[in-house]
């Protein structure tokens, strides 16, 4: 490649979803095709046991905070964490038909009406602080689980969220630990994933933070993006129903071959950037092997991991025959005591809004020596259809 040229735009690159085309800088995270996700240069596998506030600090400030700095940050977020009564009342009155991601995007718009300041940095911090309450209110309302309790941020970021969820069943330490892990691995995935890209593109027109995040969450809602976690769980469940929980590797292998022969989808494999198993998935597989090794869905998800990879590798046209994050998170949440797949993508959104909001602050207030990036306006070549 010529000096200074990052990517040659040839005709082959058109209509391929901008794959591999560099369009800017991301100050929060990077996804290497082989090494996987890093937050501010640190591999995700090394960060998963950190407190959410420590991780949010890392992403927001671009460096690890001392314990005093993190405690100060936590205090600031705690002060911002409670939404106005009008916000929660409006979220509680949203329609309960349709997918909960529709309600989640609408809730962000509604929250912007009551809580927005018009200042990207203030709104970023406010929204990060208020997300647990907004998300719990969306889920409680959509699931008809009753009135959302008052936030108790002093419990901890995810502990507070779980406290506000009126889900039936016990809120065990196991559930909180799995929710913390799920939250930690979903904050950010570089700037080019669809929801981050859309959120920043909308913000480039100077739409406010809440509206930009609402747009980002409609992007996340698509089954090729965030909603894949819900669909993957359905797939694992269907395989379990088919082969039974005592299935052997050969049974799962045969089922995958049958599905491929019938041109049916095998969910949870491949990624636009990654060329090995998703580092986030590896963390979750290890976690499930340690904590839920006998859960039927986990057993099947582990067999799909090995057998799916084996079968898909035989096809040289498949660039990445390895599992992605969505292959395992649904089984993990279910095994941990949250068997509500309709809300898995909302949980993804609770986490991902953090990274996108921080990326928006960078692009609006810091990029190009503070001038900010211009309005997104790529070129489409004219082509006649006749
Ligand atoms: C994500 O976490 O956003 C997904 O893996 C999709 C992506 O990175 O493009």
Render pLDDT for 26-44 as a digit per residue (tens, 0 to 9): 999 999 999 999 999 999 9
Distance 324 CA to ligand 1 centre (A): 9
Total of domains in the chain: 2
Rounded to whole angstroms, how far apart are CA atoms 170 and 112?
Answer: 33
End-to-end CA separation in angstroms for the chain = 36
Q: Is residue 326 flagged as an active site residue?
A: yes
Residues 188 and 279 in one domain: no
Q: If DSSP codes are grouped into helix, strand and coil, which group holds residue 29?
A: strand
Residues 248 and 160 in one domain: no
Taking the whole predicted model, whether its pTM rises above 0.85 is answered as: yes
Rounded to whole angstroms, how far apart are CA atoms 163 and 148?
Answer: 9
- Smallest CA-to-CA distance from 323 within 368, 370, 268, 369 is with 268
Residues 177 and 53 in one domain: yes
Q: Ligand 1, residue 278: give the atom nearest the CA.
A: 5
Instruction: Determine how many CB atoms are found less than 10 A away from the CB of residue 168.
Output: 8
Those residues with Cβ within 8 angstroms of residue 280's Cβ, 6 or more apart along the chain or in another chain = 36, 37, 44, 185, 186, 325
- Which residue is associated with the tokens 């491929």? 260
Residue nearest to atom 9 of ligand 1 (CA): 193
Within a domain: residue 371?
no
Residues 199 and 319 in one domain: no
Structure token digits, residue 301: 């998800």
Distance 13 CA to ligand 1 centre (A): 20
Helices marked H in the chain — which ranges? Answer: 52-61, 67-80, 85-92, 100-115, 120-142, 157-164, 173-185, 194-204, 209-220, 228-243, 249-261, 279-291, 296-313, 326-336, 344-361
Q: For 276-323, how does the pLDDT look when each residue is reduced to its tens digit (9 = 90+)?
A: 999 999 999 999 999 999 999 999 999 999 999 999 999 999 999 999
Residues 251 and 190 in one domain: no
Residues 73 and 117 in one domain: yes
Distance 189 CA to ligand 1 centre (A): 6
Q: For 313-353, how does the pLDDT look when each residue is reduced to its tens digit (9 = 90+)?
A: 999 999 999 999 999 999 999 999 999 999 999 999 999 99
Residue nearest to atom 2 of ligand 1 (CA): 189
Within a domain: residue 18?
no
CATH code, 351: 1.10.580.10
Binding site membership of 320 for ligand 1 (Cβ less than 6 Å):
no
pLDDT of residue 2: 74
Residues 71 and 171 in one domain: yes
Within a domain: residue 20?
no
Residues 271 and 357 in one domain: no
Q: Let me know: does 284 contact 49? Beta carbons within 8 Å.
A: no
pLDDT of residue 254: 98
- Smallest CA-to-CA distance from 301 within 223, 242, 233, 224 is with 233
Binding site membership of 216 for ligand 1 (Cβ less than 6 Å):
no
Q: Let me know: does 321 contact 266? Beta carbons within 8 Å.
A: no
- DSSP characters for 166-217? --SS---HHHHHHHHHHHHHTS---S-SHHHHHHHHHHHTT--HHHHHHHHH
Residues 252 and 351 in one domain: no
Within a domain: residue 26?
no
Overall size of the chain counted in residues: 386
Structure token digits, residue 283: 């963390």
Residues 268 and 213 in one domain: no
Within a domain: residue 374?
no
Binding site membership of 193 for ligand 1 (Cβ less than 6 Å):
yes
Residues 62 and 125 in one domain: yes
Q: For 148-199, how does the pLDDT look when each residue is reduced to its tens digit (9 = 90+)?
A: 999 999 999 999 999 999 999 999 999 999 999 999 999 999 999 999 999 9
Q: Is the pLDDT of residue 374 over 90?
A: yes
Binding site membership of 272 for ligand 1 (Cβ less than 6 Å):
yes
Those residues with Cβ within 8 angstroms of residue 166's Cβ, 6 or more apart along the chain or in another chain = 140, 143, 145, 146, 147, 148, 149
Within a domain: residue 378?
no
Q: Is the pLDDT of residue 45 over 80?
A: yes
pLDDT of residue 86: 98
Question: Judging by beta carbons within 10 Å of its beta carbon (0-12, 13-18, 19+), is residue 188 exposed, middle or buried?
Answer: buried
- Smallest CA-to-CA distance from 269 within 328, 316, 226 is with 328
- Smallest CA-to-CA distance from 172 within 303, 32, 36, 333 is with 333
Within a domain: residue 205?
yes
CATH code, 300: 1.10.230.10
Binding site membership of 227 for ligand 1 (Cβ less than 6 Å):
no
Residues 249 and 140 in one domain: no
Rounded to whole angstroms, how far apart are CA atoms 359 and 120?
Answer: 11
- Smallest CA-to-CA distance from 31 within 196, 169, 142 is with 196
CA distances from 217 to 165, 194, 344 (A): 20, 10, 13
Q: Is the pLDDT of residue 212 over 80?
A: yes
Residue nearest to atom 7 of ligand 1 (CA): 193
pLDDT of residue 1: 59
Rounded to whole angstroms, how far apart are CA atoms 231 and 245?
Answer: 19
Within a domain: residue 142?
yes
Rounded to whole angstroms, how far apart are CA atoms 303 and 294?
Answer: 13
Distance 321 CA to ligand 1 centre (A): 16
Residue 262's domain comprises 228-336
Rounded to whole angstroms, how far apart are CA atoms 311 and 253?
Answer: 7
């Amino acid at each position: 490649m010529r000096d200074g040229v990052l990517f040659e735009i040839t005709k082959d690159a058109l209509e391929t979803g901008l794959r591999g085309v560099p369009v800017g800088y991301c100050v929060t995270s990077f996804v290497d095709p082989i090494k996987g996700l890093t937050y501010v240069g640190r591999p995700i596998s090394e960060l998963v046991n950190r407190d959410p506030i420590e991780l949010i600090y890392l992403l927001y400030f671009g460096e690890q905070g001392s314990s005093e700095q993190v405690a100060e940050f936590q205090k600031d977020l705690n002060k911002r964490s409670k939404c106005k009564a009008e916000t929660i009342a409006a979220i509680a009155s949203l329609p309960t038909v349709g997918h909960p991601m529709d309600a989640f995007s609408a809730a962000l718009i509604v929250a912007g009406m009551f809580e927005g300041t018009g200042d990207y940095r203030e709104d970023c911090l406010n929204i990060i602080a208020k997300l647990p309450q907004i998300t719990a209110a969306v889920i409680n309302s959509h699931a008809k689980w009753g009135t959302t309790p008052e936030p108790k941020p002093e419990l901890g970021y995810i502990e507070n969220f779980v406290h506000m969820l009126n889900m039936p069943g016990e809120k065990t330490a196991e559930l909180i630990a799995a929710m913390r892990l799920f939250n930690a691995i979903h904050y950010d995935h570089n700037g080019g994933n669809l929801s981050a890209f859309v959120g920043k593109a909308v913000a480039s027109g100077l739409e406010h933070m809440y509206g930009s995040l609402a747009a980002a969450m409609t992007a996340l809602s698509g089954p090729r993006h965030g909603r894949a976690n819900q669909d993957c769980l359905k797939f694992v469940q269907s395989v379990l129903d088919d082969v039974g929980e005592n299935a052997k590797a050969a049974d799962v292998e045969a089922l995958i071959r049958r599905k491929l022969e019938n041109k049916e989808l095998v969910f949870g494999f491949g990624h636009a950037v990654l060329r090995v198993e998703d580092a986030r998935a590896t963390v979750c597989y290890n976690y499930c092997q340690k904590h839920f090794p006998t859960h039927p869905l986990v057993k099947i998800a582990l067999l799909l991991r090995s057998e799916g990879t084996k079968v898909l590798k035989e096809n040289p046209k498949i660039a990445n025959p390895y599992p992605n994050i969505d292959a395992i998170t649904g089984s993990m949440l279910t095994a941990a005591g949250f068997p509500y797949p309709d809300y898995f993508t909302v949980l993804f959104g609770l986490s991902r809004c953090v990274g996108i909001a921080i990326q928006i602050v960078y692009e609006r207030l810091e990029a190009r020596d503070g001038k900010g990036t211009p309005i997104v306006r790529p070129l489409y070549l004219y082509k006649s259809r006749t």
